[in-house]
């Protein structure tokens, strides 16, 4: 049996958790939290990285930091995870969904400007599959219209756009360390803060709205409630697990890229015959092999492929149901312009198994069975 996903485990996780236990410091902001924060700062060259309890909570923090308020509009793709939208809906915003590009499944940067109204406050590019959105264009539109940019880089840890780390280009970037992501602590995330002036407030929001971080650094002699906030601090035990994986991030990255490249090489002939389509990596994007997907003719062919692979115990899964077609999506948002690609492409996309430790011969077996489907 080949599962769709197996959570990453590289070897030192249990040692580090043991150390955290022996340090008698298992709540947040201990040694391993700090190691994770500084490693992420080094990898992304950002002013500040703060580990959070999830990618969802990183997005919620970004939404508070961006000062999203009742009635504001936030632009994002409809083809994304619910948390991308919820973080802003929780602050009273309305979501304006924009169509995606069929090649990368990312927001179509050329449609964003038309979706802007006097109420627009922010734009949220989602770097699908760890492949960057067209950030030069998005950042220049945001600058011209004075919008905040919050990158949903949940899938984009250790991926790059023109040499810059995903998550490091907007005002805020959000990572996820959920067990389905490249690096994982079970549940977990991080927020990247790119402007020095937002760092202090981020620490406060993460500490339930108190200035406890300043207190621990000896900068104030007691800590009190100073702002809104919540419990966004991750446990040391989770950080210990995560640190084992990010202290040498290329171990996981290289392994995943090998599988990705094998898939690509073995399935390319099918693409050349017009049987399916493979992911597109635009120039300037260095991806992290977060996902390997194929695109079939339509939803029926996809269902048949899932069934075909299941008889060989190969786990393949589809992905997001476009948010604008969901109950909450209709209540909290609207689609700008026409849904040309979002629904159509999402119905054709099928994700194949990809995880740290997936073996070359397993990838070969899966590709053989994909080929068999078309015979």
Dihedral pair phi/psi, residue 76, rounded to 5°: -160, 170
Q: Of 37-45, 92-100, 150-158, 232-240, which part binds ligand PLP (CB under 6 A)?
A: 150-158
Contacts of 300 (CB under 8 A, 6+ apart): none
Q: Quick one: 177 or 370, whose CB is closer to ligand PLP?
A: 177
Distance CA 205, CA 143 (A): 26
Structure tokens at 299: 């939803």
Q: Which of 155, 168, 245, 288 binds ligand PLP (CB under 6 A)?
A: 155
d(CA 19, CA 13): 10
Min dist CB 157 to ligand PLP, Å, is: 11
Between 63 and 80, CB nearer to ligand PLP: 80
Is residue 213 a contact residue for ligand PLP (CB under 6 A)?
Answer: no
How far apart CA 312 and CA 181 sit, in angstroms, is 25
Helix (H) or strand (E) holding 91: none
What 8-state DSSP symbol labels residue 93? P
Q: Is the Cβ–Cβ distance between 184 and 245 less than 8 Å?
A: yes
Q: Closest approach of Cβ 271 to ligand PLP, in Å?
A: 25
Q: How far is the CB of 294 from ligand PLP (least distance, A)?
A: 19
SS3 366: helix
| CB of 219 vs ligand PLP, minimal distance in Å | 31
The answer to whether residue 287 forms part of the interface with ligand PLP (CB under 6 A) is: no
Give, as ranges, the residues between 303 and 342 that touch ligand PLP (CB under 6 A).
none
When binding is defined by CB under 6 A, the residue of 29, 99, 152, 339 that contacts ligand PLP is 152
Lookup: tokens for 13? 């996780």
Q: How far is the CB of 154 from ligand PLP (least distance, A)?
A: 3
Rounded to whole angstroms, how far apart are CA atoms 212 and 186? Answer: 26
The answer to whether 336 and 73 have CB atoms below 8 angstroms apart is: no
Q: Which of 81, 97, 160, 335 binds ligand PLP (CB under 6 A)?
A: 81
As measured in angstroms, the least distance from the Cβ of 153 to ligand PLP is 8
Among 63, 80, 120, 234, binds ligand PLP (CB under 6 A): 80
**CB nearer to ligand PLP: pick between 260 and 370:** 260
Sole binder of ligand PLP in the list 86, 168, 176, 213 (CB under 6 A) = 176
Pairing of strands 120-123, 73-77: parallel
Question: Of 44, 78, 84, 253, which one interacts with ligand PLP (CB under 6 A)?
Answer: 84
Question: Nearest-CB residue to ligand PLP?
Answer: 55
**Contacts by residues 194-202 (CB-CB < 8 Å, ≥ 24 positions apart):** 194/46, 194/47, 194/168, 194/169, 194/170, 195/47, 195/171, 196/47, 198/65, 198/171, 198/172, 199/47, 199/48, 201/65, 201/227, 202/48, 202/50, 202/61, 202/65
Q: Does the footprint of ligand PLP cover residue 189 (CB under 6 A)?
A: yes
Binding test (CB under 6 A) with ligand PLP, winner from 40, 89, 122, 154: 154
Pick from 95, 126, 305, 366 the residue near ligand PLP by CB under 6 A: 126
Number of residues this chain uses to bind ligand PLP (CB under 6 A): 14
Instruction: Give 178 or 302: the residue with its C-beta nearer to ligand PLP.
Output: 178
Judge whether 61 and 232 are in contact, CB under 8 Å: yes
Compute the CA torsion angle 175, 180, 181, 187 (nearest 10 deg).
Answer: 40
- What x/- string results for residues 40 through 79 when contact with ligand PLP is judged by CB under 6 A? --------------xxx-----------------------
Positions touching ligand PLP (CB under 6 A) are 54-56, 80-81, 83-84, 126, 152, 154-155, 176, 178, 189
């Amino acid at each position: 049996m080949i599962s769709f996903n197996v959570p990453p485990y590289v070897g030192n996780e249990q040692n580090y958790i043991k150390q955290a236990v022996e340090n008698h410091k298992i709540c947040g902001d201990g040694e391993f939290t700090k190691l994770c924060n500084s490693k992420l700062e080094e990898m992304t060259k950002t002013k500040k990285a703060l580990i959070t309890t999830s990618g969802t909570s990183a997005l919620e923090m970004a939404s508070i930091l961006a000062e999203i308020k009742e009635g504001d509009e936030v632009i994002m793709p409809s083809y994304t995870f619910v948390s991308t939208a919820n973080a802003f809906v929780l602050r009273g915003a309305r979501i304006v969904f924009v169509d995606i590009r069929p090649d990368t499944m990312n927001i179509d940067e050329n449609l964003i400007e038309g979706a802007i109204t006097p109420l627009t406050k922010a734009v949220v590019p989602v770097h699908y599959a760890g492949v960057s959105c067209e950030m030069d264009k998005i950042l220049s539109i945001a600058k011209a219209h004075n919008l905040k940019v919050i990158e949903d880089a949940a899938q984009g840890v250790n991926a790059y756009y023109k040499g810059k780390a995903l998550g490091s280009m907007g005002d805020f970037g959000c990572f996820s360390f959920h067990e389905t992501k490249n690096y994982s602590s079970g549940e977990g995330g991080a927020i990247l803060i790119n402007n020095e002036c937002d760092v202090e407030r981020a620490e406060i929001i993460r500490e339930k709205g108190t200035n406890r971080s300043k207190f621990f650094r000896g900068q104030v002699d007691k800590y009190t409630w100073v702002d809104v906030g919540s419990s966004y601090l991750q446990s040391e035990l989770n950080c210990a697990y995560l640190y084992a994986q990010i202290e040498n991030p290329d171990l996981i990255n290289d392994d995943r890229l090998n599988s990705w490249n094998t898939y690509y090489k073995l399935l390319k002939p099918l693409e050349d015959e017009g049987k399916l389509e493979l992911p597109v990596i635009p120039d300037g994007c260095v991806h992290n092999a977060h996902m390997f997907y194929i695109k079939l003719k339509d939803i029926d062919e996809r269902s048949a492929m899932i069934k075909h692979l299941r008889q060989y115990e190969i786990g393949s899964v589809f992905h997001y149901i476009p948010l604008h077609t969901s109950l909450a999506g209709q209540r909290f948002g609207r689609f700008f312009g026409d849904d040309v690609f979002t629904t159509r492409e999402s119905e054709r996309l099928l994700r194949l198994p990809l995880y740290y430790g997936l073996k070359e011969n397993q990838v070969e077996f899966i590709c053989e069975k994909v080929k068999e489907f078309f015979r």
